[in-house]
Structure 1
Amino acid sequence: MRKKETLVVGILIIVLILLETFSKNTITDAMNDANIHVHQILHKVDCDKGTLVFYELEEHPNGCNIGLLEKSLNKYKWVNGAVVDDFSEEEDLTWCLSGIGKSNEIGNPDALQVAHGIVTNDNIVEVTVALKDEEAKSAEIVDTDLGRIWYFLMEKETNHRPDIAGLDSDGEIVYGIGL
């Protein structure tokens, strides 16, 4: 009887492994399933709402878009996204405020608001973001195959444009928005 139980457990484990292997999908698979034709993923970051991706579309070369996917077990599912900018922009620093969570309603726990953009001025080494009556906080700057992007996960949602500054290595403002 012991051999039979061990055999059944072994077969179940093999079946589960096979199901898991064949049901896997990648971020790109999930985006393609959502009819988003990704040329390349520029950057990804895990956050409490899912996986945030910056990507270039096949039909919009040299552009940067942002999206959110959620993951359960080994499967990704597209949630929402937005268009950002083109790397050929002539601005020193571009910006956008995107609501890309399951809900874009302010105060909803499924909301995710991200300030983000492209940095084209090589003198900018830091980007800061400040909401009304709050201290400025540093955003992440990431080098990608197409150029530098920046992003800041908003701790709380807002309907107001944040103050955004591009700083040089001396901490001087090179480019400011809303300052």
Structure 2
Amino acid sequence: MAFDMHLKFKGGSVTIEGGSTHAKHKGEIPVLAWSWGASNSGDLHSGGVSSGGKAHIQDISITKYVDKSSNALLQAACTGARIEEAWLYVTNATGEQTDYVTLHLSNGVLITSVSTGGSGGEDRLTENITLHFGKFQYGFQPQKPDGTADGAAKTFTYDMQAVAKG
């Protein structure tokens, strides 16, 4: 399945806008790749009773082209500006173009790094950014084979500052 990815920011002292012309994600930042995860240590190897510890939520890493958002992202990283919310959308590129994965970040989103690079053989420069946040909601929208939504989205919310499932 082909898909498109976009990043959107809202609120805060720095305005961060992208140049996407996608019908459902105009003005957002086109994303080339992303990586993110969570882990939890167990105690079974040390004779424990199968209980988990506190979850470790990774910062999300985003790869994108250098674009109209680059200066604002660098400004936010250098000044420690807090952004109110951010969304990462993974959208089916065919059919109804349904957002089938949505990651909503909130409770203080910080741009913790910006790194730019490229090589002579590439058409465009790329940059990697990382986002740190206090709370997330991960959503998955099941789809039918034709790309249309199949029932309600499934979501999970976790507030790291409250250390609780929301």
* Range class of TM-score, shorter chain: under 0.3
The higher radius of gyration belongs to 1
Q: Which has the higher helix share?
A: 1
Higher relative contact order structure (alpha carbons within 8 Å, sequence separation ≥ 6): 2
TM-score (norm 1): 0.24
